[in-house]
Chains A and B, each alone.
Chain A
Amino acid sequence: MANKIDPSWLRESAAFSRPVIREIQRAAREGIYDIRGGGAKRTVPTFDDLLFLGASVSRYPLEGYREKCDTGVTLGTRFAQKPLELSIPITIAGMSFGALSAQAKEALGRGASEVGTSTTTGDGGMTPEERGQSRYLVYQYLPSRYGMNPVDLRKADAIEVVVGQGAKPGGGGMLLGQKISDRVAGMRNLPQGIDQRSACRHPDWTGPDDLEIKILELREITDWQVPVFVKVGATRTFFDVQLAVKAGADVVVVDGMQGGTAATQDVFIEHVGIPTLPATRLAVDALKDLGMHREVQLIVSGGIRSGADVAKALALGADAVSIGTAALIAMGDNAPEYEEEYNRIGTSAGYYDDWQEGRDPTGISTQDEALGRRLDPVKAGHRLANYLRVLTLELQTLARAAGKTDVHNLEPEDMVALTVEAAAMARIPLAGTDWIPGQGGF
């Protein structure tokens, strides 16, 4: 009989923790890197490391629920004849049909429309379900150009040229064969059941000078009606934002390293790019340096979960935020009701991130028709709308407490940092001091 082990005797290695050991064992067994969905799991400096000061003797607050605190935002005021007028500064990020089921795409459109905000297509083109249910639909222009056509382009309320994503700046994509249904294959002009690679860079332009001409082409094709966004993964953010502005973007979208993905190598998700917190500050610096802050709108994304995250992004100078993962969770992803089914596919509610496999019991990240039917687009859309309302109420609560009649009046001065790292990255003083690392001596 084996000796009884007292768990308190066991000392786990920090370097070779159980997840690390498990990954080495898996790699040795399968001979391929780990591909998964979701964003970075490691701890990085985030908006949680900032706090609002709230009103005091020198500032007075607004009455919660009573005094006006505007949340509307207009995106694309620079060149477009029809900028996007959104009721809240929280948009739904691009997530592809292919990665997500048609029901999930429809639900995203319903939820966003219910609260007056926009949703975004993704790699794979525009589906009638999402166009039909989305009051404001942003059409992504991606390297793969899957499903790209001028008819849908002209149906879009805005165009988003995707240069990169926070989860994988510099990387392309892969939709595994098991998720390639006939419909997905048809929209992408490829045979059913084969892996579909999405290129990491655009096929017909390379540097910022080409991008400028490309943006003009898109404007010409759409007769200068709708705004053109440029989305970049957060890396050399200051320069990327400036180049995007010089190339003629109406709106720049900066996606931090925590940003979710449908399917990317874990090594990429965890080790490439910079967090959303410093990226937001760098992007605002870049716009201010050009005298374009508020002329070109800034959307930030990557790890936005709460109204506090939204408020802090806005206070640093963003015009809006975008959400992906949180929207999927609000619709039902990782719901505890499906615990047994999660167990059957080797995971547990709260941990499921194999969105690339297409076996999602909630019917969200799948192309399996039976699974997809489990998601009621009306109910899931309503849950998303509720969640967006909560984010907005939380945002207004914080803005009112800081005495602001518009959430966009939040400013860096309303915040302090909890950690030296966050103080340095956000350029916000460390709480209780007037010290910003790197500024004004020690």
Chain B
Amino acid sequence: MPSFDLQDAGVRELNAYLHSDGSADQAVTVEHPGGKHNVAAGAMHDTRVDIHGHVGYYCAGMNDRALVTVHGNAGPGLAENMMGGEVRVRGNASQYCGATAHGGLLVVEGDAAARCGISMKGVNIVVGGSIGHMSAFMAQSGILVVCGDAGDSLGDSIYEARIYVRGRVSGLGADCIEKELGEGHAAELGALLERAGMDPDPSGFRRYGSARQLYNFRIDNVSAY
């Protein structure tokens, strides 16, 4: 089982390994990440990566296929622009986690800070705790599930992404409204919670999405621009 101790090895060595064909179907452990940035950035094979400790910025950035677990907290931009695979943080994640991510599953077992899922483009994000303000800003597609509370301006200028929140929402952003949570939605939500390893009971959640009023410029909406 390949192992990288980031006290000795560089992040570059780890990432180069994760980009090599040799990393396919391997289980890799990373010790002493020490808050370093760009740990496991751009992993592209079916690799299991277990990081024991805290990471800095952009951990698992652009992840494609790999299963990355941070046994600690993550700095800003966790799994930004991720394409597929799964990224999980046992602790909390700083701002912009899952930004612009296109696919895969991102699980934050603790809380996520501001701008969680900003501009998300197809990823599914499940947060066990609460999220900060301006989350899902301009979120295009994918699903954001929040088991705790959501901060101000949730889903501002949202497009087609779907948001489920169990706790309190401090405020909704422009063009984001509460929507009916139908059976199909409950099934989708339950399945996602289960995949994320959370309590799969969808009851108590509310759904939010786009009112689609700002999709084409209209001068009558000028106060919203």
Q: Which residues of A contact B (CB under 8 A)?
A: 30-32, 144-145, 148-151, 153, 174, 176-177, 188-191, 193-195, 197, 199, 203-205, 210, 213-214, 216-217, 220-224
Contact = CB atoms under 8 A, between A and B. Distances in A.
A148 to B, nearest CB: 6
B215 A194 contact: yes
Given A149-B83, A213-B37, 7 more contacts: A189-B121, A190-B160, A191-B215, A213-B58, A217-B37, A221-B41, A223-B19
A32 B219 contact: yes
A104 B222 CA distance: 34
Interface of B: 11-12, 15-16, 19, 37-38, 41-42, 44, 56-58, 61-62, 64, 76-77, 80-81, 83, 96, 99-100, 102, 115, 118-119, 121-122, 137-138, 140-141, 157, 159-160, 215-217, 219, 222
A203 B99 contact: yes
- Enumerate the 10 nearest inter-chain pairs by beta-carbon distance, A residue then B residue, closest first: A221-B42, A145-B100, A194-B215, A189-B121, A204-B96, A204-B99, A204-B77, A150-B62, A31-B219, A217-B58
Contacts of A205: 76-77
Contacts of B102: 149, 189
B215 A195 contact: yes
A102 to B, nearest CB: 21
Contacts, number: 107
A217 B138 contact: no
Given A195-B217, A221-B41, A148 B19 contact: no
Nearest to B15: A220
- Please classify the interface of chain A as helix (H, G, I), strand (E, B), loop, or mixed, using the class held by over half of its residues: loop
B11 A204 contact: no
A203 B115 contact: yes
Contacts of B100: 145, 148, 203-204
29 contacts: A30-B219, A144-B119, A145-B99, A149-B62, A150-B64, A150-B81, A153-B62, A174-B217, A177-B215, A177-B216, A191-B160, A195-B216, A199-B138, A203-B80, A203-B100, A203-B118, A204-B99, A204-B115, A205-B77, A210-B57, A213-B37, A217-B38, A217-B41, A217-B77, A220-B12, A221-B15, A221-B61, A221-B62, A222-B42
Contacts of B15: 220-221, 223
Nearest to A222: B42
Q: Is the interface of B mostly helix, strand, loop or mixed?
A: loop
A7 B4 CA distance: 83
A189 B122 contact: yes
A197 B159 CA distance: 11
Contact of B119 (A203, A221, A222): A203
A204 B61 CA distance: 11
Contacts of B76: 204-205, 210
Nearest to B138: A199
B38 A220 contact: yes
Instruction: Please indicate which of the listed interface residues B62, B118, B122 has the most CB atoms of chain A within 10 Å of its own CB.
Output: B62
A174 to B, nearest CB: 8
Given A176-B217, A194-B216, A221-B62, A145 B159 contact: no
Contacts of B99: 145, 203-204
B118 A204 contact: yes
Contact of A220 (B42, B115, B157): B42
Nearest to A202: B99
A58 B89 CA distance: 70
A194 B160 CA distance: 11
B99 to A, nearest CB: 4
Q: Which of A148, A189, A220 has the most CB of B within 10 A?
A: A220
Contacts of B64: 150-151
Nearest to A30: B219
Contacts of A221: 15, 41-42, 61-62
